[in-house]
Structure 1
């Protein structure tokens, strides 16, 4: 009974595997060939078992005939399945395999039909027993079957020699199953019959041969699903655990039944067993099994899981760890290192590279687990750019179709993050440490984690951009604040200078105005002599000239600030202009007994200038030199030409300019401290006006300290003709 249930279970499992593979992708040649083989094998196992183990029943002969009829067809399905693996390994052999397949199919059909002829096999019922008589053609039938098995074995060997990666792993798995099949079948049909003539022993050995056939089918199924359609190891673990649980429970149940039943079955009395005793015999073990079944199942499940899952991991735990890493960290380097560590601890690659891409697909950031350098990662990124799939697995590619650079760096899996057309990152994984191929569990873990990882990297990239912008903004704000503080300081300084200027201007305007007013009033006095009248007239004239000078300076400042400082150029002789200015200022130099030394080129110097403004600049420099130089000293005035530039310089023997205050020269309203002390009536406008005049002519005003005194000068370009207006 137990054996019948086991064979029925194997037949149903075979049918299930065929349906499972067929429904996944029946258009695939390998899947279709496996489904056909699994369907035929499922039917053949049941017919063979019934025909072999129920010979006491007349109906068993029909199952025996069916068994013989299906044998060649199953052999052809077996060959056809292995042929598809050979074609995938060597596509150039597809035409030969197809032609040979048609010829072999005709031979197989002939062999199947021949089972209906007495020349092959005869099944008769004699004395209630089924007897099988083999005809003269049976050796040919056996030879056809053996030929199919041999050709299938050849297909797998040839496919193994010409395949790599996923296909090679599949063929290896099938060969393992084929070896188990060969050992079990040869043992049951060759070794056991030689060792004993016992019909029961040979029948039991023949039934055990089903396990070999099922082992090959299971290995083929394992190879076809290639760890991707579902976790076959999990299914195998649960199947083994369930079968062991059933076996242990059946053993315990049988022991209890026999133990309790021995009181009734093996007693010496001839009393019949009552219904109550039969109920007691069955109910006590049943209750015990019901109470202990769950514990036995859990215990065996833990043992089988420990055996089959020595390197297993919990995907949910790995995803939770990855989520914790992505949630707690904003720093991109930490996210990359920690996430690569979490994933690598789960799937256990030999090496890995994590690359985040920036604009134009260039490497923005990278971390690695192993010895790959930046140059290697750049090559990997360029090589991977031809694919648009999110996950690319080497073992799923046909032999010779894996990119050369990925092969050179021993990369077995590539994961793309973000959009397919424009990924935000790439993860490259080497082979697994245990040598196995990447499973569906690994792919699912990477696929699910990729979504959150891509989002986290995008947020981290934006966080870095915002941080950099914040840092830049902070620097700009600090700079703007410093500029505002400096401007405010300058405004305060200008405000002080403005107040000083207003105070100074009012003082300078009031003094000469008062002098003129008083002189005019005194001139009306009849008691004044002619000499006194002349002196008062000269005083009024000098005061009015000073008043005009102050007003001119103030008007110059006003015009400059209003943007109305117009320059009207004409051709002038600079030497004559300077000599005229020296003559006008000779009164001051004579009063202080200051000797003026003027040097100029002998050649005439003509250039386009605004005569009035240049005269103002020249006069300002010479007047300042005379004002601040001590009596009986020398002032040097020079004109010189250099590189088509005209230089005007004045060197005095005056008080000079303190080093700390030199940077403020030529600014509006500014006067050095020693100048304010020496001559309080200055206004701080002159040098600013000179600078403006020089720059309006395309030149520059400058200052140079001397051992005793100062050098003030300006240069302007020498221009002979006015450029025509555009």
Structure 2
């Protein structure tokens, strides 16, 4: 009965372990080999059990032969696993060829001859079958011992290999111990001791040896992440324990109740109800009991367990709302400390890759500032997370590993920035110390840190740029403030110069106006024939002189008006004014100039327009400016039309030409002081840019509206309009 219980337990545990490993990462050869090993162990246990429980001589003989052969295959599977565990070191081609030859030979000798097992004898008093060994039985033992030696040799050479990291060394240490203890137990209990004592009763406990393998490999899974199935194994164990406890409790309660019901001769209906109640209690109790075992296993096996998504979500929230780089890194460092259960962590942020300026942030216990050696990037090779324990003990990695261990660095995470033009900028590193528990960093830790590396790199880069912008704004504000002070000083000087200029312009204009008036008056008298009849040539020259004098008078008037505007002395003096007569007089004055340029000037007038209260001198100046501009900005042979019309209660004056027009980009600024359009400067370089500005000032002051439309290359229309009712003389 004991050997059956042992068989059932080992079969269940080995089967569960093998299926879990192969279903978790079935694509890896090592996982497949381990699954084969567990299958061989189960088959050998069944064969070993059947040697003492089958009937009939032939069946007993075959069961013992099969048990020995499967036992040899189990040893060979262990040996084959030693070649590839924890990773393949070299080919071992000779071993594999010898293994194939020996396996075939032993298959033939064991199953089809009596050279290994000669016969069997059933001993009724012991209820076992004794084996009568053949003359080559010790050849079988020797072959098994040789493969055991190769197994030990492979594990030893693999353990000493430089390619392995410390975590893999721990895995191979405990897994090999489990396999070796199992092998020794099986060989001693199932073969050596029975053959020496000629008593095979002890062989039925051979399958107990497989429990050594289960114990050591389970420890390696939980402690050193063997096959990366810790969570699956532990949670499976929880379900098994929960179910076992409930079944035990259910059996302990239900059996006495059933016996009582039978003795009390209770009906079938009552028995059924009782069964349903008990099953209900079983179902209701399962989940609370499972939660209890979950808490227990979490406490002892998953102290460092955490939800990756929840941690990353919390960190992402911090990254999205942070505006200060130091505070953000301290908060993220605090979460990493709490989540990974480490002593401290630090951040090295490359703020300026050109100048080499870095920022170092330490979170946790006070430690000296860590500096990373040259060539540290060689450790990453396309990955973002380097676990120092997993570095190789050879070459450059060995040297860097020694330095990192000396600096108490357990994990190094590269902060990879955004890829631009095929190049990824390194934003810095995260440095993590060892865990407080002394455990290594898991695949879950590595995955979480790998995701975090990209997110934190982008956030750090953004905040570095934000800091640059803030500092730039502060610097710019200081420069603007300084420049403003300088501008105020210069502006004050300019204002003083401008006032001096205005005073000079005002004084010069007054001084020039008197002689120009005299010159204009004398020229007018000569042209009117007061000094005698003029020859045509003389009249032409004097007309030109008179027009130039008139322009000078208007220019001086503009300068005086501009000066008055600045000093607040610009005053409109309204008086009854006949617009038609005023316009005709101005046209008459420029007729000769228009003819000399080949222009045709026409005037269309509505005689019903009444006199209006306007400033005669200033309005005349505006009219002359519009007509004068039409003449000078229209190419020779142009057409100039002057209109004075009444429409909708308004007196409207317009001057239209087919001249050079005004470009669209110049039209908004055309009436600004001293502004001149580009094509106007080319056509008439001597202009001042005051005529239209003063025209707008005058028309606005008189309560009128300025009219303007133009298209470059096709001509312009300038004018004004006045509300007749508002400006009628009272």
TM-score, length-scaled by structure 1 = 0.57
The within-5 A match list for 1:175-194 is 175-178=176-179, 181=182
Does residue 1:100 correspond to 2:101, yes or no?
no
Aligned to 1:571: none
1:393 to 387, 395, 406: 387
- 2:311 pairs with one of 305, 318, 321: 318
Counterpart check, 1:24 vs 2:27 = yes
Q: For 1:67-466, list aligned pairs within 5 A.
A: 67-85=67-85, 94=90, 97-116=92-111, 117-121=113-117, 131-136=129-134, 137-162=136-161, 164-178=165-179, 181=182, 203=204, 205-218=205-218, 227=225, 230=228, 232-263=229-260, 279=272, 282-350=275-343, 352-357=345-350, 358-359=352-353, 362=356, 364-369=358-363, 376-379=370-373, 382-384=376-378, 387-400=381-394, 402=397, 404-410=399-405, 411-419=409-417, 421-466=424-469
Contact 1:353 1:427 (C-alpha < 8 Å) held by counterparts: yes
Contact 1:61 1:130 in 2 (8 A): no
SS at match of 2:373: helix
- Give the conservation status (yes or no) of the 8 Å contact 1:184–1:211: no
Partners of 2:415 and 2:457 within 8 A in 1: yes
How many residues of Structure 1 are paired with residues of Structure 2 in the alignment?
492
d(CA) in 2 for partners of 1:249, 1:86 = 38
The whole-number CA distance in structure 1 between the counterparts of 2:214 and 2:380 is 42
Distance 1:320 1:21, change over 3 A: closer
Counterpart position of 2:477: 474
Shift in Å, 1:245: 1.0
Instruction: Please show how residues 527-566 of structure 1 align to structure 2 within 5 Å.
Output: none
Structure 1: gaps of 5 or more residues: 514-726
Indicate conservation of the 8 Å contact 1:71/1:145, yes or no. no
> Is the partner of 1:70 in helix, strand or coil?
helix
Alpha-carbon distance in structure 2 between the residues aligned to 1:477 and 1:63 = 99
Q: Deviations over 1:306-356 (max 9, x none)?
A: 121234444344324322322332111222222223213322345544222
Picking from 483, 486, 509, the partner of 2:486 is 483
Compute the RMSD of aligned alpha carbons. 4.5
1:40-77 Cα offsets, whole Å, 9 max, x none, are: 33543444455556669997876554332221122112
Asked if 2 retains the 8 angstrom alpha-carbon contact of 1:240 and 1:304, the reply is: no
* 3-state SS in 1 of match to 2:437: coil
- For the Cα contact (< 8 Å) 1:7–1:46, is it kept in 2? no
Q: Distance in 2 between matches of 1:318 and 1:491?
A: 65
Report the Cα offset of residue 292 of structure 1. Answer: 1.3
Distance 1:54 1:413 in 2: 58
- CA shift digits 1:268-297 (9 cap, x unpaired): x9x9x9766865675453332122122222
Consecutive unaligned residues in structure 2, runs of 5 or more: 516-730
- The 1-side partners of 2:293 and 2:54 are apart by 34
Q: Tell me, what secondary structure is at the counterpart of 1:23?
A: coil
- For residues 457-502 of structure 1, the C-alpha deviation after alignment (integer angstroms, 9 at most, x for no partner) is 1221221122123223322332332233223211222234335656
CA 1:290–1:186 in 2, change beyond 3 Å: closer, same or farther? farther
- The C-alpha deviation readout for 1:76-99, integer Å capped at 9, x for no partner, is 1212222345986xx5xx47x432
CA distance in 1, matches of 2:348, 2:236: 41
Distance 1:87 1:60 in 2: 41
Whole-Å separation in 2 of the counterparts to 1:57 and 1:282: 47
> Does the residue aligned with 1:436 lie in a helix, a strand or coil?
coil
Q: Which residue pairs with 2:720 in the alignment?
A: none
Distance 1:406-1:125 versus aligned 2 partners, 3 A rule: closer
Specify whether residues 186 and 257 from structure 1 end up closer, same or farther in structure 2 by C-alpha distance, changes over 3 A only: farther
Partner of 2:534: none
Q: Which residue of 2 aligns with 1:37?
A: 37
SS in 1 for 2:303: coil
Give 1:407 shift: 2.6
Q: Matches of 1:302 and 1:227 in 2, distance apart?
A: 20
Residues in 1 aligned to 2:57 and 2:284: alpha-carbon distance in whole angstroms: 40
Structure 1 pair 252/216, CA: closer, same or farther in 2 (3 Å)?
same
CA positional deviation for 1:233: 2.9
Q: Is the contact made by 1:86 and 1:158 (CA closer than 8 Å) also made in structure 2?
A: no
Deviation at 1:441, TM superposition (A): 1.4
1:127 deviation in Å? 11
Alignment of 1:563-642 (within 5 A): none
C-alpha separation between the residues in 2 aligned to 1:167 and 1:368?
A: 31
**Relative to 1, partners in 2 of residues 1:475 and 1:360: Cα closer, same or farther, differing over 3 Å?**
closer
The alignment's TM-score, normalised by the length of structure 2, stands at 0.57
User: Secondary structure of the residue that 2:371 maps to in structure 1?
Assistant: helix
Matched ranges for 1:4-19 at <5 A:
6-17=9-20, 19=22
Q: 1:442: how far off?
A: 0.6
Equivalent position of 1:497 in the other structure? 500
C-alpha separation in 2, matches of 1:450 and 1:352: 14
> Could you say if the C-alpha distance between residues 145 and 386 of structure 1 is closer, same or farther in structure 2, counting changes exceeding 3 Å?
closer
Deviations 1:379-438 (A, max 9, x none): 267554773322223344443252523431213432222258433232233433333221
Whole-angstrom CA distance in 1 between matches of 2:209 and 2:130: 20
- Partner SS, residue 377 of structure 1: coil
CA distance in 2, matches of 1:211, 1:50: 19
SS in 1 for 2:26: helix
